[in-house]
Structure 1
Amino acid sequence: MDLHTLKIFQTVARLGSISQAARELQYAQSNITLKIQQLETELQTTLFYRHNRGTALTAKGSMLLTYTEKIFDLIEETKNVMNDDQTPKGPLIIGSMETTAAVRLPALFSKYLKDYPDVDLTLKTGSTEENVQGVLQYELDGAFVAGPINHPDLIQKEVFEEELVLITDKDHPPISSIKDVQTRTLLVFHKGCAYREKFEQWLHQEKMIPNKIMEFGTVDGIIGCVSAGLGISLLPYSVIAKHLQEGTLKQHSLPNLNGNMKTMFIFRKETYLQPSLLKFIDMLKK
């Protein structure tokens, strides 16, 4: 079993087709088939199911793919270490919740890029669930998520603590009972959002089923629809403070609603961290 054969195996697994892998690698299809057969013989197992639409990994094939990806990640990491002159540069992809990106990150990113102009910094927003998976799958170098996050392959550092508040339009009468919430539409982010999960957990504890739920992809969408009177929402105070001061939204307090949530920065538990990420983490500490 050599790296060349593993690369062929990885390509077939990714594309789900021997013919497509042959085109991408610019090999004869028969050579690809022979290499896969030799690998299966060497490992004494079947790695792919063959069907008329291509190939699919067996359980052992999936296991080998996991190890294969780790091998190539380790090789890439080794190259980075050998070529590393400790100057922050190159791509750095950071994930974040929509609310954190809107309020907390602009000043941080501006200072970071001023200090390290050779870094190609990219921000991708998504739910806590999406960001955790993005870091684990090497799609993100690090991410801001609602915590705590307990995963053996991740390191987490607390960076902010958010106060979550219940908001309505400015003309809404005071909400003093859970019954006042039951008839209102809940305006929330998509599944996987930690703020939404906290809202729904609280409703469940109060044995209440919401009348209707509307999902949004942006914080501006939620705020705009709340201010228009379409429903209520639970958002960090830092996000809606300006709107409260301007009088376009109204804040309400309800019993048994614990509105505090920590924002964590997570990254993979590895022996080597690229200089651009190390400097970003150092800046968070300050």
Structure 2
Amino acid sequence: MEINDLKIFKAVAEFGSVSQAALELSYVQSNVTARIKRLEKELQTELFYRHKRGMVLNAEGKRLLEYAEDILGKMEEIKRAFQGSDDPSGILNIGVVEPIFSLPGLLSEYLEKHPHVDLSLTVGVTARLLQDVTSMKLDGAFVTGPVKHPLIDCYEVFREELILVSKNENSTLDDIVKKPLLLFNKGCGYRERLESWLKGEGIIPKQIMQFGSFDTIIGSITAGICVTIVPKSSVRRLIDDGTISGYSIPKPYNEVTTIFICKKDSYLTPTLRSFIEKLQHI
């Protein structure tokens, strides 16, 4: 078994298609097919369910994928360990939940100090970003805390107040919780806090809709369609100019901590190490 076999297998598993995997890896399709068949022969088991529209991992394939991600992650770690230098450079893959309005300034300062770093940002919800960090798809991520995970190191970055917001209509808090809720996707820390509060109050939302985009959510709020929960700092300007109204919610549901997470016990490249040092001196 070769490392390239695992790379090919992982690509086919992710795309569910030999042709798409071949295109991504710049291989000919027949080579990808042959490698998968050779891998299955070596392991003495089929790894995929094959159908007209593509390929889906079976139970043995899912089992191998866990090993493949671990092995490939370790290979990347080895490369980083021997390519490191005192001058941070290369790609830094960071995940981020939205919205964190204090983040652009922090990132700008870091990139100004380390111009050879190429920063790549991936937006997602906390649950997904945590998974991507543990599988080493991301170097680290800004997520909603607290996070307790045996494979994760955490660094507190910001603390902010969460509020409910709706179109400026002089409504009471009792009135607005009866409106439809427009929330981020499942796995969002803000959403979890709001749902916990409403459950504790015995309030059943009239309707819950979800979007993954902060701009879409705020646009729907200003149109008077629904209510949402966000950090106060992210909508302060809209509140100040009277576009929307903000409503305080009780403790402990009204506080959100943004933390930076990275995988525990993995090699810290100079790039990631310098980034963490920047966070610790905010």
For normalisation by structure 1, the TM-score amounts to 0.81
Q: Which residue in the other structure is 1:212 paired with?
A: 207
Q: CA deviation at 1:52?
A: 6.2
Amino acid at match of 1:126: G
Q: Which residue in the other structure is 1:89 paired with?
A: 89
Residue 194 of structure 2 is aligned to residue 196 of structure 1: no
Contact 1:8 1:32 in 2 (8 A): no
Give the distance between the partners of 2:61 and 2:203, measured in 1 at CA. Answer: 46
Matches within 5 A, 1:267-282: 267-282=262-277
Q: CA deviation at 1:89?
A: 0.8
Q: CA deviation at 1:47?
A: 4.1
Give the distance between the partners of 1:256 and 1:149, measured in 2 at CA. Answer: 19
- Cα gap change, 1:37 to 1:211, in 2 (>3 Å): closer
Q: CA deviation at 1:257?
A: 6.5
Gaps of 5+ in 1: none
Contact 1:22 1:32 in 2 (8 A): no
Matches within 5 A, 1:1-286: 1-3=1-3, 5-7=5-7, 9-10=9-10, 13=13, 25-26=27-28, 33=34, 43=43, 45-48=45-48, 56-100=56-100, 103-175=101-173, 178=174, 180-254=175-249, 258-286=253-281
SS at match of 1:168: strand
Percent identity reads 43
Residues 232-256 of structure 1: CA deviation (Å, up to 9, x unaligned): 2221111122333333332333556
Give the distance between the partners of 1:95 and 1:262, measured in 2 at CA. Answer: 16
Provide the alpha-carbon RMSD of the alignment: 3.1
Give the distance between the partners of 1:170 and 1:243, measured in 2 at CA. Answer: 10
Residues 255-278 of structure 1: CA deviation (Å, up to 9, x unaligned): 567311211111122431221111
- Cα gap change, 1:85 to 1:254, in 2 (>3 Å): closer
Provide the aligned length of Structure 1 versus Structure 2: 279
- Cα gap change, 1:163 to 1:53, in 2 (>3 Å): closer
Contact 1:11 1:21 in 2 (8 A): yes
Residues 113-152 of structure 1: CA deviation (Å, up to 9, x unaligned): 1100011112222222232233234332211111111222
Range with greater deviation from structure 2 (12-21 or 181-190)? 12-21
Range with greater deviation from structure 2 (166-175 or 53-62)? 53-62
Range with greater deviation from structure 2 (112-121 or 207-216)? 207-216
Give the distance between the partners of 1:268 and 1:274, measured in 2 at CA. Answer: 12
Range with greater deviation from structure 2 (239-248 or 45-54)? 45-54
Gaps of 5+ in 2: none
Residues 17-45 of structure 1: CA deviation (Å, up to 9, x unaligned): 6788789544866x965x66665565455
Give the distance between the partners of 1:78 and 1:201, measured in 2 at CA. Answer: 43
Residues 180-233 of structure 1: CA deviation (Å, up to 9, x unaligned): 244322232233221122112211222221113343433333334334433322
SS at match of 1:138: coil
Contact 1:153 1:269 in 2 (8 A): yes
Give the distance between the partners of 2:64 and 2:87, measured in 1 at CA. Answer: 35
Give the distance between the partners of 1:182 and 1:192, measured in 2 at CA. Answer: 21
Give the distance between the partners of 1:21 and 1:222, measured in 2 at CA. Answer: 35
Give the distance between the partners of 2:194 and 2:277, measured in 1 at CA. Answer: 33
SS at match of 1:271: coil
Range with greater deviation from structure 2 (158-167 or 41-50)? 41-50
SS at match of 1:210: coil
For normalisation by structure 2, the TM-score amounts to 0.82
